[in-house]
Structure formats: structure tokens, C-alpha cells
A and B are shown apart, each in its own frame.
Chain A
Amino acid sequence: GAVVSQHPSWVICKSGTSVKIECRSLDFQATTMFWYRQFPKQSLMLMATSNEGSKATYEQGVEKDKFLINHASLTLSTLTVTSAHPEDSSFYICSARDRSGGGAYNEQFFGPGTRLTVL
């Protein structure tokens, strides 16, 4: 149980285009999902917290108009990188917290990540 999927697993796009990444909890409902970014040889940095039915909370330094987050249902959150530029190239990972309390308290289940390359 507690599986989180991401789609696509990798994407290459031209500079200036927008890219949407999906994060789904497959066998549980998630009121809260998280989006992380990881640059090469660095650790994961939290970008934003996504709550179902409300606006996302962005970490300091993350542009909310550039990284649009939508959490329209209890099993789906999307991250859209708008007007992508080469410096946005990174590994994006989402995680989800089980609404029913499955797993340890405050445990997060992680998706496999999406590799974004902006040319």
C-alpha cells in the first residue's frame, strides 16, 4: 500500500514552454501533498505544501506564479512549471500524507520523481 506515482517520469522541453507534472496517491487519499526539488548532488528542498481544496503554501524563495500547484482532489496534485528556463532543469519529487492516518504519524510517501530538462 501507500504508493505514490508521478507522471511523466522525465520530460524535455524548450525554453519558454510550460510543463505539467502530476502526482497521484494510488491507494490512499491525501489531503496534503508536498513538492520538492533536487539539483544534482544536492539534497531535496521543499518547494511548497499542497492542500486539497485550498491554495498551496510556498517556501521562501519559490515563485508561486512560476510554479503553479493545483490539488483538485484527494488523490491528485499537479505542479506546472510556467515559462520554463534552463535553470529550472531539476529533479522534482512529490510526496503525500495519508489522510486516514495510515503509516506512522506525519509519515510521507514519496513518488519516483520527474526529471525536467529545459533546453
Chain B
Amino acid sequence: KQEVTQIPAALSVPEGENLVLNCSFTDSAIYNLQWFRQDPGKGLTSLLLIQSSQREQTSGRLNASLDKSSGRSTLYIAASQPGDSATYLCAVSGNQFYFGTGTSLTVIP
């Protein structure tokens, strides 16, 4: 069974810092990997989707990479802002969707 792990579980950084969130998965047979943002008590906002044939995707200050062979993905956030504070979830799509444990990010003004 696919297992998805995210490190760190929580992260607190001062505003303006660049940061990296990590996601690892045990089964490399995936169709795609997706990063989501979840604000407290809210649903999921899709940030980036990387198809299995791709290495990375970029959107604004966000860059996500995928190394399928090693079972790893990173989400890079440049010049963090207080509005980036949220929980970030990665999910891999195989026969079904498997979610990671999440990283709770706090950006301190």
C-alpha cells in the first residue's frame, strides 16, 4: 500500500524566507503528484500538479519538483508571506489518491 510522508510536520519561518517542504512516497507507480493548500476549517486548494512524466511545475512563487524513481517531491516557496500560512498537503495518484500527513506552515510577520 502506498504511504506518503511529509517532513517537517510543522514549520515556522520569518516573512521573506525561502522554504522547502518535503514529500516522500513508497510506491513509484504513480500517475501524478499534487500539492494542496488547506486553510483551517476549509477545503483543499490545488496548487500544483506534476504528471509522472514531468520533473517540475511552477506557479508564481511556488515550484514543485518530482523525482519519481526516488519517491520524492519538494515544494519550494520563495519569499514567504504571512498569507502563505496554512497546511500543505501532497497527494499521489495511483489506483487511488493517497494523501500525505501535511506540513503546517506559519510565516511570522
Contact = CB atoms under 8 A, between A and B. Distances in A.
A106 B93 contact: yes
Interface in B43-91: 43-44, 46, 49, 51, 89, 91
B109 interface: no
B66 to A, nearest CB: 12
B97 A46 contact: yes
A46 B4 CA distance: 14
Contacts of B43: 93, 110-113
Interface SS of chain A: strand
Interface SS of chain B: strand
A34 B97 contact: yes
A29 interface: no
Interface string A34-54: 101000000111100100000
Contacts of B32: 104-107
A49 B93 CA distance: 14
Interface residues of A, number: 22
Nearest to A9: B43
B49 A43 contact: no
A115 B51 contact: no
A108 B49 CA distance: 11
Nearest to A94: B43
Interface in B19-62: 31-32, 34, 36, 41-44, 46, 49, 51
A49 B96 CA distance: 9
Interface of B: 31-32, 34, 36, 41-44, 46, 49, 51, 89, 91, 93, 96-97, 99-102
